[in-house]
Structure 1
Amino acid sequence: MLGIKEIQEIIPHRHPFLLIDCIKELEPGKKSVGYKSVTYNEPQFLGHFPGEPVMPGVLMIEALAQTGAVAILSVPENKGKTAYFGAINSAKFKRKVVPGDKLELSCEIIRQKGRIGIGKAVASVDGEIAVEAELTFIIGE
């Protein structure tokens, strides 16, 4: 299990934009599974939406991308690099995510050639899919 400190040794994201709390499963270069505990005191809930806080879909995609970046950047040859978005394909939002939910984040790297990687990403709450997408990563220097 990787906590915040270990995650920050792999990816460059920091508060308030680090959107994963822990990584419970890691196969470097292949897959990572982590969690985000969604809490009411997060800044996006001030305006999204007043009286009905809902985690923005773009932040769920970003949390999935960070989870995938942990997998891609945890291999020795990518240490110290950054994984950037290349594309977001086939994103489907299937359920609202609200404060109190524990979002499970999974990203499996299904293809990689050179600096480009593609991940199959799924976020779920209590086994129910909230969002799924295919994410393309470009590994920078």
Structure 2
Amino acid sequence: MNTMDIHEILKYLPHRYPLLLVDKVLSIETGKSIVAVKSVSINEPFFQGHFPHHPVMPGVLIVEAMAQAAALLTLKSGGESNKEDTVYYFVGIDNVRFKKPVMPGDQLILKVSIDREIKGLWKYSARAEVDDQLVTEAKLMCTARSV
């Protein structure tokens, strides 16, 4: 098992503020699964408008955080050899379910596993949890492209 701090994450993901949504990797089993963390702060720019009277993390950003964890898993698993020139794109998102709102102060635990890879199309099962409770789950499909 491996871990990654923010400095190593920045070497793999092209995302930067305000769209970098993975703060740390707690564990990674190459070719299989990853557990990562997104610490949700009231200082996130999206809370200014979503919603000022009741701040809730937008569901699309939770899904994006899961996708970023999936990209880290794939890159660390040797899915693409030239990580600096590779961008991951969503191809599909299926069976998304939002079970509970994510609020400022929550620590979002992102759990992603590889279901399969066929001809450059990666399929994942992803879930996000707060305090060991499921908040979001989805099936993700991504592909890598050199830029």
Q: How does 1:1-141 map to 2 (within 5 A)?
A: 1-76=3-78, 78-79=80-81, 80=83, 81-141=86-146
How many positions carry a matched residue from both structures?
141
Q: Secondary structure at the match of 2:129?
A: strand
Contact 1:31/1:109 (<8 A) preserved: yes
Which segments of 5 or more consecutive residues in structure 2 lack a partner in the other structure?
none
Superposed displacement of residue 30, structure 1? 2.0
Distance 1:12 1:77 in 2: 16
What CA deviation, in whole Å up to 9, does each residue of 1:66-111 have, x standing for no partner? Answer: 0010001113351312221110000000000000100000110111
TM-score in terms of structure 1 length:
0.96
Contact 1:54/1:98 (<8 A) preserved: yes
TM-score in terms of structure 2 length:
0.92
Q: Percent identity?
A: 41
Q: Secondary structure at the match of 1:111?
A: strand
RMSD across aligned positions (CA): 1.0
1:137 is matched by which residue type in structure 2?
C
Q: Secondary structure at the match of 2:4?
A: coil
